[in-house]
């Protein structure tokens, strides 16, 4: 069975030095990989936080790894003609790849700004705003010159300004039924791979720069904006986010 590998640059530190033969990877978007997990096609990997809640019956956290924005993240942007605080009843086009980010947008607009919006999958020129994530958003951050959008909001930055906590987009999980020996082996594999990946930002950036046409120095700054090991603040942030979405606190997460 395979390991899920979200195909965005911010997951590269986990997979830059990955033993593909022992643990083959299934690349894809966040939504695609969450569906693959439901269908039993992947046994582990970093999956979108909101999808992890739905998978709790069959999956459990693996270590304390994840993808969390320290401040802003430069990979989840809302492009709009008005500030977020004025987007009442707006039509927002969202990428078909998104899981956690679209829920974060709804939480911010509803609970921080008291606004409701209409979500449309796909990006249409008639939309009042677009939500871009991953490498698509990274390209927008790098773009210079005039834009057809007057406003650009980084949703992780919005969350940090509001809750004073880093936002967690994904966390590592593994199927509960996987044998202990395999869990331990995968745990050590991720530990070793991340240790190398954290030291290899320059090499990661050089490779991604060719594919994304974004300067390597910007990609390094981008990678440096994430925490890959989740601590107390990240756990607290996930708890608050879940409470705002579902109205309940997840088990083993302290309430603020």
- pLDDT (0 to 100) of residue 254: 38
- pLDDT (0 to 100) of residue 122: 84
Mean per-residue pLDDT, 46-74: 93
With 80 as the cut, is the pLDDT of residue 151 above it?
Answer: yes
Q: Which residues of 1-34 are buried (b: 16+ CB within 10 A; e: fewer)?
A: ebbbbbbbbbbbbbbbbbeeeebeebebbbbbbb
What is the per-residue pLDDT across 13-57, written as a single tens digit (0 to 9) for each?
999 999 999 999 999 999 899 999 999 999 999 999 999 999 999
CA 21 – CA 221 distance, rounded (Å): 31
Q: Which residue has the tokens 């020996």?
A: 181
What is the per-residue pLDDT across 215-225, written as a single tens digit (0 to 9) for each?
899 899 989 99
Beta pairing class for 76-80 and 129-133? antiparallel
What is the per-residue pLDDT across 103-118, written as a single tens digit (0 to 9) for each?
999 999 999 999 999 9
- pLDDT (0 to 100) of residue 141: 64
CA 212 – CA 214 distance, rounded (Å): 5
Q: Which residue has the tokens 């869990």?
A: 183
């Amino acid at each position: 069975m395979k390991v899920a590998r979200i195909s965005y640059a911010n997951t590269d530190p986990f997979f830059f030095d990955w033993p593909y033969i022992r643990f083959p990877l299934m690349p894809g978007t966040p939504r695609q990989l969450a569906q693959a997990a439901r269908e039993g096609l992947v046994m582990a990997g970093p999956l979108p936080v909101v999808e992890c809640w739905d998978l709790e019956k069959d999956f459990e956290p693996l270590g304390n790894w994840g993808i969390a924005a320290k401040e802003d993240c430069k990979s989840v942007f809302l492009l709009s003609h008005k500030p977020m605080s004025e987007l009442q009843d707006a039509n927002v086009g969202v990428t078909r790849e998104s899981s956690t980010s679209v829920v974060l947008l709804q939480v911010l607009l509803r609970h921080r700004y008291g606004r409701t919006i209409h979500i449309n999958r796909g990006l249409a020129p008639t939309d009042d705003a677009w939500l871009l994530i991953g490498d698509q958003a990274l390209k927008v951050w790098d773009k210079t010159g005039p834009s057809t959008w007057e406003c650009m909001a980084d949703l992780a930055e919005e969350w940090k300004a509001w809750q004073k906590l880093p936002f967690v987009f994904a966390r590592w999980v593994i199927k509960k039924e996987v044998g202990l020996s395999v869990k331990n082996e995968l745990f050590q594999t991720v530990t070793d791979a991340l240790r190398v990946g954290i030291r290899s930002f320059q090499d990661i950036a050089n490779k991604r720069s060719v594919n994304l046409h974004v300067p390597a120095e910007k990609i390094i700054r981008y990678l440096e904006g994430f925490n890959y090991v989740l601590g107390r603040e990240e756990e607290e942030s996930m708890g608050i986010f879940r409470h705002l979405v579902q109205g309940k606190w997840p088990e083993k997460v302290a309430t603020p």
